[in-house]
């Protein structure tokens, strides 16, 4: 599936966070659709180290890149020597910057800001020097306590959301200058789909509920789950937005969701239908009451207008195409 007129064959494309969920999907998108594109897949990969919340410091996993034929670099974007090498030894045409501390519950603010904010600016300087269009991952977490999911109404409530707002601010600062490249920040909402499995507990509830159901367990939902709504977006639509962001009508920051909020209860219902298993549902008190987000829904008007983005998958479509992979992972990795 080609999403725009650009021929990426023979282009030099840097993908950071390439062993992670979204980055690896981008690698395979190019490999499959533009086999002569030159993909440089950069990730620091996992090494077993954990943050104080007990989760891995980085989720990059070689299995996300099994079958990938491009160049793989294991490196840390906080390493200035690596940044210098990328600047001097390569000439990129496009940079897709997905590397980040993607875990919203991480408390180490120092490393969060360094990795998500400062390293982004270093990569942006390379993009400007190479005349490479920059596409980077922002997040719906920038909205935090806001009830308006529209660029300009951000109100982050954790260090992660703050770091993504700071990335967007850097973007606006550079866009005021005559830099000769486009920069597009994409505020992904709740993404699900193949290659998210290695995010462990931070993977979407789609795969987590899917595996619970396959184990024969009754999915546990918070009380009132039919009224806890999120904008769940399938990975192929995220790839679509990234590709379309390579030649935007206008640089800037855009929401990427379906534009339609759905409930966690819907996820369980659709999964049980597609898996042809009915384990019922159990309701438990919501321990996060008070600080919990009950509703997110992307306003995608400007994304449609300036990126020509149009979501192709509603929740039913996305889960349906994902279910065989959820089953495969269960057989090969969980059981
Ligand atoms: N998945 C979602 O629902 C979602 C939603 C909003 C925003 N995002 C953003 O999208 C991007 C991709 O997210 P993802 O879901 O693929 O997460 P992910 O954790 O699977 O991917 C991020 C990758 O970055 C790598 N990385 C982390 N620190 C690094 C460093 N210092 N140097 C080099 N590599 C490093 C990790 O190893 C990992 O492979 C992230 O920027 C994330 O914040 C994701």
Across the chain, what does the average pLDDT equal?
97
- Closest by CA position to 180, among listed 251, 131, 126: 131
Measured in Å, residue 17 CA sits from the centre of ligand 1 at 6
Are 329 and 211 in contact by the 8 Å Cβ rule? The answer is: yes
Is the dihedral angle over the CA atoms 307, 313, 319, 323 positive or is it negative? negative
Confidence of residue 69 (pLDDT cuts 50, 70, 90): very high
Atom of ligand 1 nearest to the CA of 22: 16
Residue identifier of the C-alpha nearest atom 10 of ligand 1: 137
Residues touching ligand 1 (Cβ under 6 Å) are 17, 19-23, 43-45, 58-60, 76-78, 98-102, 115, 137, 139-140, 188, 190-191, 199
Digit-coded pLDDT (tens) for 134-177: 999 999 999 999 999 999 999 999 999 999 999 999 999 999 99
Q: How far is the CA of 100 from the centre of ligand 1 (A)?
A: 4
pLDDT at 289 over 80: no
CA Rg, the chain, in Å? 19
Instruction: Give the pLDDT of residue 292.
Output: 76
Give the pLDDT confidence of 9-26 residue by residue, as tens digits: 999 999 999 999 999 999
- pLDDT above 70 coverage of the chain, percent: 99
123 within 8 A of 97, measured Cβ to Cβ: yes
d(CA 10, ligand 1 centre) in Å: 26
Pocket test for ligand 1, best of 14, 15, 17 (most atoms within 8 A of CB): 17
Q: Distance (Å, rounded) from C-alpha 257 to C-alpha 131?
A: 29
Task: Give CA–CA dist 136/57, Å, rounded.
Answer: 20
Distance of CA 320 from the midpoint of ligand 1 (Å): 25
Q: Mark whether 160 is an active-site residue.
A: yes
Query: How much is the pLDDT for 164?
Result: 98
CA distances from 79 to 21, 90, 164, 334 (A): 22, 17, 20, 35
**Distance (Å, rounded) from C-alpha 124 to C-alpha 132?**
9
What is the position in ligand 1's atom list of the atom closest to the CA of 102? 43
Question: Which residue in the block uniquely carries the two structure tokens 């840390």?
Answer: 76
Torsion of CA 146, 150, 156, 158, to 10 degrees: 110
Beta bridge partners, 96, equal 15, 135
pLDDT in tens, 201-237: 999 999 999 999 999 999 999 998 988 999 999 999 9
In contact, 207 and 196? CB cutoff 8 Å: yes
Q: Contact 19/199 with Cβ under 8 angstroms?
A: no
Strands 190-192, 262-263: parallel, antiparallel or unpaired by DSSP?
Answer: unpaired
Which one of the listed residues 94, 160, 188, 192 is annotated catalytic? 160
Structure tokens at 331: 């057989």
User: DSSP state, 10?
Assistant: T
Neighbouring C-beta atoms of residue 140, cutoff 10 Å:
25
Domains observed in the chain = 12-334 (3.40.50.720)
Q: Is the pTM of this model over 0.75?
A: yes
Q: Which atom of ligand 1 is nearest to the CA of 43?
A: 34
Question: Ligand 1 centre from 125 Cα, in Å?
Answer: 20
CA distance 292 to 53: 18
Instruction: Find residue 187's DSSP bridge partners.
Output: 138, 255
Q: Which residue among 16, 22, 79, 154 is best mutated to probe the pocket of ligand 1, counting the most ligand atoms within 8 A of its Cβ?
A: 22
Nearest to 185 by CA among 164, 158, 161: 164
Write down the pLDDT at residue 142: 97
Asked if residue 291 has pLDDT above 90, the reply is no
In angstroms, how far is CA 10 from the centroid of its own chain?
Answer: 26
Active-site pick, 11, 187, 199, 244:
199
d(CA 205, ligand 1 centre) in Å:
17
131: its two tokens:
């005349």
Task: Assess contact for 204 and 196: CB atoms under 8 A.
Answer: yes
């Amino acid at each position: 599936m080609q999403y725009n007129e650009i021929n990426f064959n023979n282009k030099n494309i840097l993908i950071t966070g390439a062993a992670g969920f979204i980055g690896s999907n981008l690698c395979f998108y190019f490999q499959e659709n533009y086999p002569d594109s030159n993909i440089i897949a950069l990730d620091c990969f996992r090494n077993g180290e954990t943050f104080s919340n007990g989760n891995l410091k980085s989720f990059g996993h070689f299995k996300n890149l099994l079958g990938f034929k491009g160049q793989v670099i294991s490196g840390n974007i906080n390493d200035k020597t690596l940044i210098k090498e990328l600047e001097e030894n390569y000439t990129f045409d496009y940079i897709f910057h997905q590397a980040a501390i993607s875990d919203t519950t991480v408390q180490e603010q120092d490393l969060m800001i360094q990795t998500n904010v400062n390293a982004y600016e270093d990569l942006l300087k390379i993009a400007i020097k190479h005349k490479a269009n920059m596409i980077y991952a922002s997040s719906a977490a920038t909205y935090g306590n806001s009830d308006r999911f529209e660029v300009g109404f951000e109100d982050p409530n954790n260090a992660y959301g703050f770091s993504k707002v700071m990335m967007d601010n850097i973007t606006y600062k550079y866009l005021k200058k005559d830099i000769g490249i486009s920069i597009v920040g994409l505020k992904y909402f709740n993404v699900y789909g193949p290659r998210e499995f290695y995010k462990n507990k931070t993977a979407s509830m789609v795969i987590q509920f899917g595996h619970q159901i396959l184990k024969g367990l009754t999915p546990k939902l918070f009380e009132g789950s039919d009224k806890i709504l999120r904008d769940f977006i399938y990975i192929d639509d995220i790839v679509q937005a990234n590709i379309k962001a390579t030649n935007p009508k206008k640089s800037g920051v855009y929401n990427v969701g379906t534009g339609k909020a759905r409930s966690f209860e819907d996820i369980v219902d659709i999964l049980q239908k597609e898996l042809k298993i009915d384990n019922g549902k159990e309701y438990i008190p919501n321990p996060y009451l008070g600080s919990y987000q009950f509703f997110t829904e992307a306003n995608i008007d400007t994304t449609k207008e300036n990126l020509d983005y149009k979501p192709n998958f509603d929740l039913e479509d996305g889960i349906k195409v994902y279910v065989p992979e959820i089953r495969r992972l269960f057989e090969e990795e969980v059981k």
